[in-house]
Amino acid sequence: MQIRKVGVLGTGLMAPGIARLSAQAGYETVIRGRTEQSVGSAVESIRAGLARNVERGKLTEQQKDEILGRLTGATVLEELGGCDIVVEAVIEELEVKRELLAALDKICPPHTIFASNTSSLPIVQLGAATKRPDRVVGMHFLYPPQAMPLLEVVRSITSSEESVQTAKSFGQSLGKTVVVAKDTPGFLFNRMLVPYMMNAIRLLEAGVASAEDIDTTMRLGLSCPWGPLEMLDFVGIDLTYRSGSHFYEEFKEPQYAPPPLMKRMILAGHWGRKTGKGFYDYPEAGARPERK
Protein backbone atom coordinates (compact mmCIF):
# COMPACT_ATOMS: atom_id res chain seq x y z
CA MET A 1 0.00 0.00 0.00
CA GLN A 2 1.32 3.44 -0.94
CA ILE A 3 1.06 6.33 1.50
CA ARG A 4 0.36 9.71 -0.06
CA LYS A 5 -1.49 11.69 2.59
CA VAL A 6 -0.85 11.52 6.34
CA GLY A 7 -3.01 12.60 9.23
CA VAL A 8 -1.70 13.37 12.72
CA LEU A 9 -4.29 13.44 15.48
CA GLY A 10 -3.29 15.68 18.39
CA THR A 11 -1.29 18.84 19.06
CA GLY A 12 0.47 18.01 22.33
CA LEU A 13 4.01 16.94 23.14
CA MET A 14 4.48 14.38 20.34
CA ALA A 15 2.13 15.32 17.50
CA PRO A 16 3.95 18.40 16.09
CA GLY A 17 7.22 16.47 15.79
CA ILE A 18 5.49 13.58 14.01
CA ALA A 19 3.73 15.98 11.64
CA ARG A 20 7.01 17.73 10.91
CA LEU A 21 8.70 14.42 10.09
CA SER A 22 5.88 13.53 7.72
CA ALA A 23 5.93 16.84 5.86
CA GLN A 24 9.75 16.76 5.65
CA ALA A 25 9.54 13.30 4.09
CA GLY A 26 7.38 14.70 1.29
CA TYR A 27 3.91 13.70 2.44
CA GLU A 28 0.88 15.96 2.34
CA THR A 29 0.18 16.20 6.08
CA VAL A 30 -2.82 17.30 8.14
CA ILE A 31 -2.43 17.93 11.88
CA ARG A 32 -5.74 18.03 13.74
CA GLY A 33 -6.35 19.58 17.15
CA ARG A 34 -9.43 20.50 19.15
CA THR A 35 -9.06 24.28 18.93
CA GLU A 36 -7.69 26.87 16.52
CA GLN A 37 -5.30 27.98 19.25
CA SER A 38 -3.81 24.50 19.81
CA VAL A 39 -3.44 23.89 16.09
CA GLY A 40 -1.86 27.32 15.58
CA SER A 41 0.62 26.66 18.40
CA ALA A 42 1.54 23.27 16.94
CA VAL A 43 2.13 24.68 13.46
CA GLU A 44 4.13 27.58 14.91
CA SER A 45 6.36 25.18 16.84
CA ILE A 46 7.02 23.28 13.61
CA ARG A 47 7.79 26.55 11.80
CA ALA A 48 10.19 27.61 14.56
CA GLY A 49 11.99 24.25 14.51
CA LEU A 50 12.45 24.44 10.76
CA ALA A 51 13.70 28.02 11.04
CA ARG A 52 16.37 26.88 13.51
CA ASN A 53 17.48 24.27 11.00
CA VAL A 54 17.78 26.98 8.34
CA GLU A 55 19.97 29.03 10.71
CA ARG A 56 22.18 25.98 11.30
CA GLY A 57 22.53 25.33 7.57
CA LYS A 58 20.61 22.03 7.67
CA LEU A 59 17.82 23.38 5.44
CA THR A 60 17.46 26.13 2.87
CA GLU A 61 14.74 28.75 3.11
CA GLN A 62 13.12 27.21 0.04
CA GLN A 63 13.10 23.73 1.60
CA LYS A 64 11.52 25.14 4.76
CA ASP A 65 8.75 26.80 2.74
CA GLU A 66 8.15 23.61 0.76
CA ILE A 67 7.79 21.58 3.97
CA LEU A 68 5.35 24.09 5.44
CA GLY A 69 3.45 24.09 2.16
CA ARG A 70 2.72 20.39 2.66
CA LEU A 71 1.35 21.00 6.15
CA THR A 72 -2.27 21.85 6.94
CA GLY A 73 -3.90 22.49 10.31
CA ALA A 74 -7.45 21.37 11.07
CA THR A 75 -9.93 21.33 13.96
CA VAL A 76 -12.50 18.88 12.57
CA LEU A 77 -11.97 15.13 12.20
CA GLU A 78 -13.46 15.17 8.72
CA GLU A 79 -10.27 16.86 7.47
CA LEU A 80 -8.52 13.50 8.03
CA GLY A 81 -10.96 11.71 5.74
CA GLY A 82 -8.63 11.57 2.76
CA CYS A 83 -5.60 10.24 4.63
CA ASP A 84 -3.94 6.90 3.89
CA ILE A 85 -2.59 6.65 7.43
CA VAL A 86 -3.58 8.51 10.59
CA VAL A 87 -1.12 8.63 13.48
CA GLU A 88 -3.01 9.13 16.75
CA ALA A 89 -0.95 11.04 19.33
CA VAL A 90 -3.46 12.32 21.89
CA ILE A 91 -3.49 11.99 25.67
CA GLU A 92 -2.51 8.55 27.03
CA GLU A 93 -6.03 7.54 28.06
CA LEU A 94 -7.59 4.42 26.57
CA GLU A 95 -11.18 5.61 26.30
CA VAL A 96 -10.21 8.94 24.72
CA LYS A 97 -8.22 7.12 22.05
CA ARG A 98 -10.97 4.54 21.48
CA GLU A 99 -13.62 7.24 21.02
CA LEU A 100 -11.51 9.11 18.48
CA LEU A 101 -10.64 5.98 16.52
CA ALA A 102 -14.29 4.91 16.47
CA ALA A 103 -15.23 8.33 15.07
CA LEU A 104 -12.44 8.19 12.47
CA ASP A 105 -13.57 4.72 11.45
CA LYS A 106 -16.77 6.27 10.09
CA ILE A 107 -14.93 9.05 8.28
CA CYS A 108 -11.85 7.45 6.68
CA PRO A 109 -11.97 5.09 3.68
CA PRO A 110 -11.55 1.33 4.33
CA HIS A 111 -7.87 1.30 3.29
CA THR A 112 -6.78 3.89 5.89
CA ILE A 113 -4.43 2.57 8.56
CA PHE A 114 -4.79 3.85 12.13
CA ALA A 115 -1.49 3.96 14.02
CA SER A 116 -1.42 4.83 17.72
CA ASN A 117 1.60 6.50 19.28
CA THR A 118 0.72 4.97 22.67
CA SER A 119 3.69 3.85 24.75
CA SER A 120 1.86 1.14 26.67
CA LEU A 121 -1.89 0.82 25.97
CA PRO A 122 -3.10 -2.40 24.28
CA ILE A 123 -3.33 -2.01 20.52
CA VAL A 124 -5.91 -4.81 20.36
CA GLN A 125 -8.27 -2.75 22.54
CA LEU A 126 -7.82 0.27 20.29
CA GLY A 127 -8.48 -1.84 17.21
CA ALA A 128 -11.63 -3.27 18.79
CA ALA A 129 -13.13 0.23 18.82
CA THR A 130 -13.19 0.13 15.02
CA LYS A 131 -14.55 -2.11 12.29
CA ARG A 132 -11.03 -2.45 10.86
CA PRO A 133 -8.93 -4.03 13.67
CA ASP A 134 -6.70 -5.54 10.99
CA ARG A 135 -5.67 -2.00 9.99
CA VAL A 136 -4.81 -0.77 13.49
CA VAL A 137 -1.17 -0.90 14.67
CA GLY A 138 1.08 0.84 17.14
CA MET A 139 3.70 3.37 16.05
CA HIS A 140 5.56 4.42 19.19
CA PHE A 141 7.82 7.41 18.47
CA LEU A 142 10.30 8.41 21.16
CA TYR A 143 10.55 12.01 22.37
CA PRO A 144 11.47 14.23 20.64
CA PRO A 145 10.25 12.41 17.51
CA GLN A 146 12.14 14.64 15.08
CA ALA A 147 15.45 13.75 16.78
CA MET A 148 15.19 10.22 18.16
CA PRO A 149 16.13 7.58 15.53
CA LEU A 150 14.08 4.67 16.92
CA LEU A 151 10.47 3.77 16.10
CA GLU A 152 8.52 0.83 17.52
CA VAL A 153 5.85 -0.66 15.27
CA VAL A 154 3.50 -2.78 17.37
CA ARG A 155 1.60 -5.75 15.99
CA SER A 156 -1.57 -6.88 17.80
CA ILE A 157 -3.15 -10.30 17.27
CA THR A 158 -5.63 -8.64 14.89
CA SER A 159 -3.16 -6.48 12.89
CA SER A 160 -2.67 -7.69 9.34
CA GLU A 161 0.79 -8.32 7.92
CA GLU A 162 0.09 -5.72 5.22
CA SER A 163 -0.69 -3.06 7.84
CA VAL A 164 2.45 -3.86 9.84
CA GLN A 165 4.67 -3.76 6.76
CA THR A 166 3.07 -0.54 5.51
CA ALA A 167 3.62 1.11 8.91
CA LYS A 168 7.20 -0.16 8.95
CA SER A 169 7.91 1.21 5.45
CA PHE A 170 6.28 4.51 6.34
CA GLY A 171 8.45 4.79 9.45
CA GLN A 172 11.58 4.06 7.45
CA SER A 173 10.61 6.76 4.96
CA LEU A 174 10.66 9.20 7.88
CA GLY A 175 14.28 8.27 8.49
CA LYS A 176 13.63 5.98 11.44
CA THR A 177 15.18 2.64 12.35
CA VAL A 178 12.12 0.46 12.92
CA VAL A 179 11.74 -2.45 15.32
CA VAL A 180 8.59 -4.58 15.43
CA ALA A 181 7.20 -5.66 18.79
CA LYS A 182 4.29 -7.75 20.03
CA ASP A 183 1.31 -6.08 21.65
CA THR A 184 2.27 -6.65 25.28
CA PRO A 185 2.42 -4.06 28.11
CA GLY A 186 5.32 -1.68 27.48
CA PHE A 187 6.02 -3.27 24.09
CA LEU A 188 9.82 -3.48 23.74
CA PHE A 189 11.38 -0.15 24.74
CA ASN A 190 9.44 0.54 27.95
CA ARG A 191 9.45 -3.12 28.91
CA MET A 192 13.23 -2.74 29.27
CA LEU A 193 13.36 0.89 30.39
CA VAL A 194 10.92 0.76 33.32
CA PRO A 195 12.80 -1.94 35.32
CA TYR A 196 16.05 -0.03 34.69
CA MET A 197 14.57 3.12 36.22
CA MET A 198 12.89 1.22 39.08
CA ASN A 199 16.22 -0.37 40.02
CA ALA A 200 17.87 3.06 40.11
CA ILE A 201 15.23 4.18 42.63
CA ARG A 202 15.85 1.05 44.72
CA LEU A 203 19.58 1.85 44.84
CA LEU A 204 18.83 5.38 46.01
CA GLU A 205 16.26 4.12 48.51
CA ALA A 206 18.78 1.65 49.96
CA GLY A 207 21.43 4.35 50.33
CA VAL A 208 23.86 2.65 47.95
CA ALA A 209 24.74 5.98 46.30
CA SER A 210 23.45 9.51 45.78
CA ALA A 211 21.11 10.39 42.91
CA GLU A 212 23.94 12.27 41.20
CA ASP A 213 26.38 9.36 41.48
CA ILE A 214 23.79 6.86 40.22
CA ASP A 215 23.11 9.04 37.19
CA THR A 216 26.80 9.79 36.59
CA THR A 217 27.58 6.06 36.63
CA MET A 218 25.07 5.31 33.89
CA ARG A 219 25.73 8.46 31.85
CA LEU A 220 29.46 7.78 31.65
CA GLY A 221 29.37 4.00 31.87
CA LEU A 222 26.92 3.60 28.97
CA SER A 223 27.50 6.95 27.20
CA CYS A 224 23.86 7.94 27.82
CA PRO A 225 22.77 11.58 27.61
CA TRP A 226 20.74 11.18 30.83
CA GLY A 227 20.96 9.03 33.90
CA PRO A 228 17.91 6.97 34.99
CA LEU A 229 16.79 9.37 37.72
CA GLU A 230 17.14 12.41 35.45
CA MET A 231 15.09 10.51 32.89
CA LEU A 232 12.42 9.77 35.49
CA ASP A 233 12.17 13.48 36.30
CA PHE A 234 11.80 14.28 32.61
CA VAL A 235 9.23 11.58 31.78
CA GLY A 236 7.28 12.12 35.00
CA ILE A 237 7.55 10.06 38.17
CA ASP A 238 3.75 9.78 38.30
CA LEU A 239 3.49 8.43 34.76
CA THR A 240 6.29 5.92 35.31
CA TYR A 241 4.64 4.78 38.54
CA ARG A 242 1.43 4.17 36.61
CA SER A 243 3.27 2.22 33.90
CA GLY A 244 5.19 0.09 36.40
CA SER A 245 2.00 -0.70 38.31
CA HIS A 246 0.31 -1.76 35.08
CA PHE A 247 3.25 -3.98 34.09
CA TYR A 248 3.34 -5.56 37.55
CA GLU A 249 -0.40 -6.25 37.45
CA GLU A 250 0.03 -7.97 34.08
CA PHE A 251 3.23 -9.98 34.70
CA LYS A 252 3.45 -10.23 38.52
CA GLU A 253 7.24 -9.81 38.27
CA PRO A 254 8.95 -7.85 41.11
CA GLN A 255 11.19 -5.95 38.69
CA TYR A 256 8.17 -3.89 37.57
CA ALA A 257 6.80 -3.09 41.08
CA PRO A 258 7.23 0.61 41.95
CA PRO A 259 9.45 1.11 45.04
CA PRO A 260 7.86 2.70 48.16
CA LEU A 261 9.93 5.89 47.72
CA MET A 262 8.22 6.47 44.39
CA LYS A 263 4.74 6.47 45.95
CA ARG A 264 5.84 8.86 48.69
CA MET A 265 7.29 11.28 46.15
CA ILE A 266 4.04 11.26 44.22
CA LEU A 267 2.02 11.93 47.37
CA ALA A 268 4.33 14.87 48.12
CA GLY A 269 3.83 16.29 44.62
CA HIS A 270 7.42 15.61 43.61
CA TRP A 271 6.63 14.41 40.08
CA GLY A 272 9.73 15.69 38.31
CA ARG A 273 10.33 18.66 36.05
CA LYS A 274 6.65 19.47 35.57
CA THR A 275 6.20 20.20 39.30
CA GLY A 276 9.67 21.70 39.81
CA LYS A 277 10.84 18.95 42.13
CA GLY A 278 11.69 15.27 41.71
CA PHE A 279 14.97 13.52 42.31
CA TYR A 280 16.43 16.96 41.51
CA ASP A 281 15.14 20.53 41.89
CA TYR A 282 14.08 22.59 38.88
CA PRO A 283 13.88 26.32 39.69
CA GLU A 284 12.82 27.12 36.12
CA ALA A 285 10.91 25.13 33.53
CA GLY A 286 13.27 23.26 31.23
CA ALA A 287 16.33 24.03 33.37
CA ARG A 288 19.02 21.52 34.11
CA PRO A 289 18.61 19.89 37.53
CA GLU A 290 20.05 21.34 40.68
CA ARG A 291 22.09 18.56 42.30
CA LYS A 292 20.99 17.59 45.79
**Enzyme catalytic residues:** 119, 140, 152, 190
CB contact burial 134-157 (16+ within 10 A = b; e otherwise): bbbbbbbbbeebbeeeebbbbbbe
Q: Does residue 186 come out as left (phi exceeding 0), alpha (psi in the -120 to 50 range) or beta?
A: left
CA 240 and chain centroid, separation: 14
Q: Are 76 and 98 in contact (CB under 8 A)?
A: no
DSSP states of 161-191 as a string?
HHHHHHHHHHHHHTT-EEEEEESSTTTTHHH
Total count of residues recorded for the chain: 292
- Closest-CA residue to 140 (of 243, 67, 41, 49): 243
